[in-house]
């Protein structure tokens, strides 16, 4: 039997679609629910477990009660043991305690080969605090903030890594960084990241993400070329959703407009008509102006994500209104080169929608300068 630890932070990611840029703390969770947020971590964990369904007879899971793992594993027919009864609602203390039991820190007996968990950077910090390097870990990306290198590039990719281990295929173990940012500063448009330590991760080049590369682009002339091209081709009939990140911010600065560095703003006829939009704001715009909405987004440096990292407002429901032609990707060639050939990634909350955007997409890399770049993970 392959003994696998399995923990879900059921609140991970609830702040993303409603524009809260995180989910740490009870006050933020309450605000997220007040804005109509719906939990998504359990469903992302379900996607990660699907590749493992054919191996159910060979896997035994240790998990926590309720939505922290028990309910999903029962629903999917896995063999499991509940080793920790979580509070209702669960907290970071439940994550830490469950991980300590699974990794043997509670009774000096290691019980699992790998600890698989669904969450964001805050959850990764909890796991780091708990496991003390006792076992390899693998994160299922479900949070708003995913800067740490302990996460698979998508939920499905996490399942593929575990499948390789079950089949005893060669999988390297790497020490990767646990990162997190100051959420309060993040909400004010400041990225203040800190490394908290390192954990061992079963790594497969295509499936496990790099630690996010941050910092202001130094290629300002290239960024200006990109911005000039975007602005020159904006049409008065369209509404432009300008995404998060410093590359998109450069476009807004070139337009002479205030922008939400870590959110999504709508520009129409040279003016911001709505700032820091939520998923529901965007859906309303799409329904009011069908086929008149364009999206401008950039690439997460070092990771390659274009959807699903810091822009969960662009949900699968939003994407269902859009085609590839409605989405403009902007990035410098340096940023693309840092990916070392890895594809761009769409990681919304619906794998079928993600697949719709797979293939090749045009990336604007300068003034009338483009490259064709692959989107999706090789299976």
Residue range 44-69, pLDDT digits in tens: 999 999 999 999 999 999 999 999 99
Q: Splitting the chain (379 residues) into consecutive groups of 10 residues, what average pLDDT does each group show?
A: 94 64 58 64 92 95 95 96 90 93 70 92 91 89 80 88 87 80 58 76 73 52 87 95 91 92 92 94 96 95 85 92 94 88 88 86 86 75
User: Distances in Å between the alpha carbon of 90 and those of 38, 107, 347?
Assistant: 16, 23, 26
Spans of all domains in the chain: 2-203, 220-375
Coil, strand, or helix at residue 314?
coil
Of 353, 337, 4, 333, give the one whose Cα is nearest residue 158. Answer: 4
For 41, residues 6+ apart whose C-beta sits below 8 A from its C-beta are 8, 9, 10, 11, 12, 13, 118, 119, 142, 143
- Residue 157, pLDDT score: 87
The model's pTM? 0.67
Pair 147, 194: CB distance under 8 Å: no
Class of domain 2-203: alpha beta
- Residue 33, pLDDT score: 56
Strands 359-366 and 327-330: parallel
Q: How many CA atoms lie within 13 A of 261 on its CB side?
A: 10
Of 243, 224, 333, 223, give the one whose Cα is nearest residue 294. Answer: 243
Q: Give the H/E segment covering residue 166.
A: helix 155-166
């Amino acid at each position: 039997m392959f003994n696998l630890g399995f923990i879900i932070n059921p609140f991970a990611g609830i702040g993303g679609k409603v524009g809260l840029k995180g989910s740490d703390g009870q006050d933020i969770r309450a605000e997220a629910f007040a804005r109509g947020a719906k939990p998504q971590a359990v469903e992302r964990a379900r996607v990660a477990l699907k590749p493992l369904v054919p191996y159910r007879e060979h896997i035994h899971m240790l998990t926590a009660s309720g939505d922290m793992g028990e309910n999903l594993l029962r629903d999917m027919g896995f063999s499991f043991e509940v080793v920790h009864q979580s509070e209702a609602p669960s907290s970071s203390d439940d994550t830490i305690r469950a991980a300590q039991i699974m990794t043997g820190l509670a009774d000096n007996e290691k019980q699992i080969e790998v600890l698989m968990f669904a969450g964001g950077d805050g959850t990764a910090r909890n796991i780091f605090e708990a496991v003390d390097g006792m076992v390899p870990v693998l994160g299922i990306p479900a949070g708003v903030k995913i800067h740490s290198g302990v996460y698979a590039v998508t939920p499905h990719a996490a399942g593929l890594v575990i499948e390789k281990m079950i089949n005893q295929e060669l999988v390297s173990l790497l020490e990767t960084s646990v990162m997190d940012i100051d959420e309060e500063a993040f909400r004010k448009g400041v990225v203040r990241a800190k490394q908290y330590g390192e954990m061992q991760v079963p790594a497969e080049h295509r499936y496990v993400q790099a630690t996010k590369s941050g910092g202001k682009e130094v290629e300002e002339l290239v960024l200006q070329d990109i911005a000039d091209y975007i602005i020159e081709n904006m049409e008065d009939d369209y509404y432009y959703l300008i995404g998060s990140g410093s590359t998109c911010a450069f476009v807004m600065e070139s337009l002479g407009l205030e922008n939400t560095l870590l959110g999504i703003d709508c520009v129409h006829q040279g003016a911001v008509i709505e700032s820091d939009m939520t998923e529901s704001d965007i859906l309303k715009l799409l329904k009011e102006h069908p086929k008149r909405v364009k999206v401008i987004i950039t690439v997460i440096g070092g990771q390659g994500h274009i959807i699903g990292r810091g822009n969960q407002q662009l949900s699968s429901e939003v994407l269902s209104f859009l085609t590839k032609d409605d989405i403009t990707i902007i990035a410098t060639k340096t940023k693309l080169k840092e990916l070392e050939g890895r594809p761009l990634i769409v990681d919304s909350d619906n794998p079928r929608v993600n697949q719709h955007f797979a293939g090749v997409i045009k990336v604007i890399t300068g003034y009338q300068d483009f490259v064709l770049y692959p989107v999706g993970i090789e299976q």
